[in-house]
């Protein structure tokens, strides 16, 4: 517990120290959100989305770059220091393999998001460099997800699904496509949820506290360590990301955080708890998928706007009201998910 709380404070302090100079750096490099015309998965215009998001143009994008770097360095250094001083590290799997999977998830999806940020900010796709079209980006997500899922199955030997009240089921190699689907789903769910100031990161802090409690129960130090560092960095970032935001996470952070959140849930062996704790993220991506399905099949919109937070915004809800109430729902879902995890 002392290590966990200390790492939160250390990560918070370091991020707080660096974030203002980093925001100024982003302004100098013009790494800012541009006014843009967006399209959905079917290539159709999204005027409602554009109307609400044009107000955010000119705000620095790239907070995820700083957070991913801080998390990677602090996580690696902390474990090296513990090993150097021969502190016993309680783990559920092979230490090197567990650390490798966590870092690979964070960095690989972060790099994919970084290319996408470059494309959006500097319009590099017009020059044919790093121009990741949506279908290629989605394909790369699936490729990385299958790599990670295979590592979970072959290297860590995870192949079980724990369903509360029903028991633990070993699904063998079918675990790989299931895990890959969960990783891709949460990657895109987090990215979609990251549309209002402070919404996704606030919900992630809540989810990580819940995952930390589960990590304490199974005494997995690497996951506790990463969660603590992650929480501290996010709290410092949220100070500048809540309404009106001075900095946005960007795809670098959104893709990295969504994927790594899913991987932690999978490594904890609590798939159902993960779905409940991340319930708001599932509602967000689910509303977008339903919207796409009805537009494709019936050529009609199920909602006037999607995802769900945009629908609420279009109905007249103020942005801070949506975010604060989503956080409250997230707290209840986290408590419910933790209760389920006890079975």
- Give per-residue pLDDT as tens, 95-120: 899 999 999 999 999 999 998 888 76
How far apart are the C-alpha atoms of 284 and 120, rounded to whole Å? Answer: 22
- Residues in Cβ contact with 12 at an 8 Å cutoff, skipping those fewer than 6 apart: 232, 233, 235, 236
At residue 130, the pLDDT reads 39
Match 């942005």 to its residue by tokens.
Answer: 319
How far apart are the C-alpha atoms of 211 and 229, rounded to whole Å? Answer: 13
Strand, coil or helix: what is 17? helix
The residue among 113, 121, 97 whose CA lies nearest residue 222 is: 97
How far apart are the C-alpha atoms of 184 and 191, rounded to whole Å? Answer: 11
Alpha helices in the chain (DSSP H): 2-28, 47-53, 63-84, 95-122, 134-154, 175-193, 199-218, 221-241, 250-267, 271-277, 279-297, 308-314, 319-341
Q: Which portions of the chain are predicted below pLDDT 50?
A: 41-42, 126-131
Q: Using one digit for the tens of pLDDT, what is the confidence trace for 283-336?
A: 999 999 998 888 888 888 888 888 999 999 988 899 999 999 999 999 999 999
Query: CB atoms < 10 A from the CB of 48, how many?
Result: 16
Match 């250094």 to its residue by tokens.
Answer: 77
At residue 44, the pLDDT reads 56
- Tell me if 338 sits within 8 A of 210, measured CB to CB: yes
At residue 343, the pLDDT reads 79
At residue 325, the pLDDT reads 97
Token duo for residue 151: 């590592």
Burial class (CB within 10 angstroms; exposed 0-12, middle 13-18, buried 19+) of 302: middle
> Alpha carbon of 98 to those of 87, 261, 276: distances in Å?
17, 14, 24
At residue 122, the pLDDT reads 65
* Prediction pTM value: 0.92
The residue among 186, 191, 187, 194 whose CA lies nearest residue 274 is: 186
Q: What is the DSSP letter of 170?
A: E
């Amino acid at each position: 517990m002392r290590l966990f709380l200390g790492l939160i404070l250390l990560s918070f302090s370091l991020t707080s120290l660096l974030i203002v100079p980093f925001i100024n750096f982003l302004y100098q490099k013009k790494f800012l959100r541009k006014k843009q015309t967006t399209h959905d998965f079917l290539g159709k215009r999204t005027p409602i989305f554009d109307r609400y998001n044009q107000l955010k143009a000119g705000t620095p994008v790239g907070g995820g770059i700083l957070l991913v770097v801080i998390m990677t360095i602090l996580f690696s250094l902390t474990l090296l220091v513990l090993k150097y001083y021969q502190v016993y590290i309680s783990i559920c799997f092979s230490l090197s393999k567990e650390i490798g999977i966590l870092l690979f998830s964070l960095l690989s999806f972060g790099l994919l998001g970084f290319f996408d940020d470059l494309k959006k900010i500097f319009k590099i796709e017009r020059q044919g460099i790093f121009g990741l079209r949506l279908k290629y980006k989605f394909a790369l997500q699936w490729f990385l997800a299958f790599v990670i899922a295979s590592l979970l199955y072959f290297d860590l030997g995870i192949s079980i699904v724990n369903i509360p009240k029903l028991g633990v089921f070993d699904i063998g190699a079918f675990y790989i496509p299931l895990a890959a689907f969960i990783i891709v789903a949460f990657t895109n769910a987090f990215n979609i949820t990251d549309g209002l100031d402070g919404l996704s990161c606030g919900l992630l802090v809540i989810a990580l506290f819940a995952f930390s409690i589960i990590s304490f129960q199974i005494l997995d130090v690497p996951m506790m360590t990463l969660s603590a560092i992650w929480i501290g960095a996010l709290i410092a970032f949220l100070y500048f990301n809540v309404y009106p935001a001075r900095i946005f996470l960007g795809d670098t952070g959104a893709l990295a955080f969504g994927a790594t959140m899913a991987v932690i849930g999978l490594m904890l062996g609590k798939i159902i708890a993960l779905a409940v704790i991340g319930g708001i993220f599932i509602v967000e991506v689910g509303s977008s998928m339903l919207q796409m399905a009805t537009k494709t099949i019936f050529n009609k919109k199920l909602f006037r706007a999607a995802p769900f937070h945009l629908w609420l915004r279009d109905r007249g809800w103020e942005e801070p009201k949506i975010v604060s109430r989503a956080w409250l729902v997230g707290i209840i879902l986290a408590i419910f998910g933790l209760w389920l995890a006890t079975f």
